[in-house]
A and B are shown apart, each in its own frame.
Chain A
Amino acid sequence: MGAKEKPKLAMYWASACGGCEISVLNIHENILTVDEVFDIVFFPCIADFKVKDLESYPDGYIDVCLFNGAIRNSENEEMANLLRKKSKILVAYGSCAYEGCIPALSNLTTKDATFDKVYLNNPSIDNPDGIIPQVVTKVAEGELTLPVFYNTVKSLDQAVDVDYYLPGCPPEPHQIWAVLQVVVGALLEGNPLPPAGAILGAGTKSVCEECEREKQEKCIDRFYRPYQLDPDPDQCLLEQGIICMGIATRSGCGALCPTVGMGCRGCYGPPDGVIDQGAKMLSAIASVINAGDETMEDDELEHVIQEVIDTIPDPAGTFYRFSMAHSILRRVKNGKGDS
């Protein structure tokens, strides 16, 4: 390296579980190389940095910022704006930042309903005065403020411009390492960077491409939830009636879940060319339902198909488990002209 300054790395969590941070530490001994190559300038999970440190940096000071977590409240959005300003390359790291992930499932309800469940009507809550967080509270000492809690969870790119996406919940260690190598190669050796907006550390095809299970024609008589069935170890899970999102999910993870008998949950997001992962999954799964044929009367036909569909208890939550914020409609309508 000589006198040349090390590139600066930052990682920040917005509305996230912390698993993404752990996934970075999970790249095994390579984490030592990361420390050797980069200067870590902001990483609240592993070292004591304050927002004022970040504010003190000149614009574009950080070379790479790995931003994980969805945009749930105004503080998340403010930090996204600040990190965008301070970073040359901003990476939406993990499914939350990329497409909303689990936090964005609350787009299936409203802020009021969420507050009700979390602070008021919940068996493990003791809140007789019905106190819920307020944005501004006046106390004797002055005014106290909290971030504004949004009605809709946004992905990072719905708040600020994003250079790259790294999907996964969390991203797989070998993929993280591959992405870091690309970035390091670009910063230190002047290799070309991938085109802006690229999805890094993942394939372009579907998970089925990487899944070793035996695949035949799919004809499904009914769907099973994972606990209802002990799946055959070799046959395609979807063919056995277990909802496996592999057909509508980007490859790159090595089909970890289906390999161990758990249907793919869809955390790598839609493959190339698909806008709405849930709608594509819905479309695919509906067309392999083995019920009804052209000889039946209209009513009977609808009835037999409906019976199979009723074995999927929560289609929106299943098909959009990770991609709600990036779906076409983004949130549910609640008829109240929400704000």
Chain B
Amino acid sequence: MSVQFEPVIVGFLCNWCSYRAADLAGTARIKYAPNLRPIRVMCSGRVDPQFVLKALLNGADGVLIAGCHPGECHYVNGNIKALRRFLLLKKTLAQWGIEEERVQLLWASASEGIYLAEKVNTMTEELRALGPLRWHDKVLGGNGAQPIPVKEV
């Protein structure tokens, strides 16, 4: 029996909408993929691209950034900043050879628990199809990382 690959998705969910959507999915007992590891941030505009890269380096197979719909940001336009960053990051990650499905941005309001759950399900399936990222072993491993013995002289 082969064991199904369970991708790890690090989720950065905004405090005002998307984290509440996840809360709602919980209280409404919606069943969805347990692959999301949610991290609450005050705003999707708080998500530094370094967070995304660090997550990918340290074992995440994908990163989900979720915020309020445009026009509904608690801080007026934090989510627009997040979108600008995300689009530029997406272009950069493509140069990195990282598949588009691995880093996603979505808008989910506090009432969209079902929508968020569906999106997590879809993303989990997409990542399952892509397979594990495992940056440390698969990309960095063996890349001239083998130690060269110090010559005894």
Q: How far is the CA of A301 from the CA of B107 in the complex (A)?
A: 13
Instruction: Write out the residue numbers on chain A whose beta carbons fall within 8 Å of the beta carbon of B122.
Output: none
Q: How far is the CA of A56 from the CA of B143 in the complex (A)?
A: 31
Known: A298-B70, A302-B83. A312 touches B88 (CB 8 A): yes
Instruction: Write out the residue numbers on chain A whose beta carbons fall within 8 Å of the beta carbon of B56.
Output: 329
Known: A55-B151, A151-B144, A287-B84. A335 touches B97 (CB 8 A): yes
Instruction: Write out the residue numbers on chain A whose beta carbons fall within 8 Å of the beta carbon of B49.
Output: 276, 279-280, 282-283
Q: Does A230 contact B (CB under 8 A)?
A: no
Q: How far is the CB of B103 from chain A (nearest CB, A)?
A: 12
Instruction: Write out the residue numbers on chain A whose beta carbons fall within 8 Å of the beta carbon of B91.
Output: 309, 312, 315
Q: Does A337 contact B (CB under 8 A)?
A: yes
Pairwise interchain contact B143-A71, C-beta atoms closer than 8 A: no
Q: How far is the CA of A3 from the CA of B75 in the complex (A)?
A: 70
Pairwise interchain contact B87-A309, C-beta atoms closer than 8 A: yes
Pairwise interchain contact A289-B84, C-beta atoms closer than 8 A: yes
Interface string of A309-338 (1 = CB under 8 A from B): 100101111010000000111111111011
Q: How far is the CB of B134 from chain A (nearest CB, A)?
A: 9
Residue of B nearest to A107 (CB): B143
Q: Does B150 contact A (CB under 8 A)?
A: yes
Q: Contact residue range for chain A? A: 35 or more
Pairwise interchain contact A333-B139, C-beta atoms closer than 8 A: yes
Instruction: Write out the residue numbers on chain B whose beta carbons fall within 8 Å of the beta carbon of A314.
Output: 95
Q: How far is the CA of A327 from the CA of B92 in the complex (A)?
A: 13
Q: How far is the CA of A55 from the CA of B150 in the complex (A)?
A: 11
Q: Does A294 contact B (CB under 8 A)?
A: yes
Instruction: Write out the residue numbers on chain B whose beta carbons fall within 8 Å of the beta carbon of A334.
Output: 97, 139
Interface string of B10-43 (1 = CB under 8 A from A): 0000000000000000000000000000000000
Q: How far is the CA of A85 from the CA of B148 in the complex (A)?
A: 13
Known: A74-B148, A302-B87, A316-B92. A331 touches B48 (CB 8 A): no
Pairwise interchain contact A331-B140, C-beta atoms closer than 8 A: yes
Pairwise interchain contact B77-A294, C-beta atoms closer than 8 A: yes
Q: Contact residue range for chain B? A: 35 or more
Residue of B57, B70, B142, B148 contacting most chain A CB atoms (<10 Å) = B148
Pairwise interchain contact A329-B53, C-beta atoms closer than 8 A: yes
Pairwise interchain contact B96-A316, C-beta atoms closer than 8 A: yes
Residue of B nearest to A313 (CB): B91
Pairwise interchain contact B85-A338, C-beta atoms closer than 8 A: no
Interface string of A290-313 (1 = CB under 8 A from B): 011111101001100110010010
Q: Does A108 contact B (CB under 8 A)?
A: yes
Instruction: Write out the residue numbers on chain B whose beta carbons fall within 8 Å of the beta carbon of A298.
Output: 69-70, 107
Give the contacting residue for B87; candidates A81, A294, A306; CB below 8 A.
A306
Q: How far is the CA of A276 from the CA of B54 in the complex (A)?
A: 10
In the A-B complex, the 9 residue pairs with the smallest Cβ-Cβ separation, listed nearest first, are A150-B144, A152-B143, A316-B95, A55-B153, A328-B53, A294-B71, A279-B49, A286-B85, A333-B97
Interface positions of A (Cβ within 8 A of B): 55-56, 71, 73-74, 77-78, 81-82, 85, 108, 148, 150-152, 154, 159, 275-276, 278-280, 282-283, 285-287, 289, 291-296, 298, 301-302, 305-306, 309, 312, 314-317, 319, 327-335, 337-339
Q: A74-B148, A294-B71, A329-B53 are in contact. List 10 more A-B contacts (CB 8 A).
A: A78-B151, A152-B143, A278-B92, A279-B50, A283-B48, A286-B81, A298-B70, A302-B83, A331-B139, A331-B143
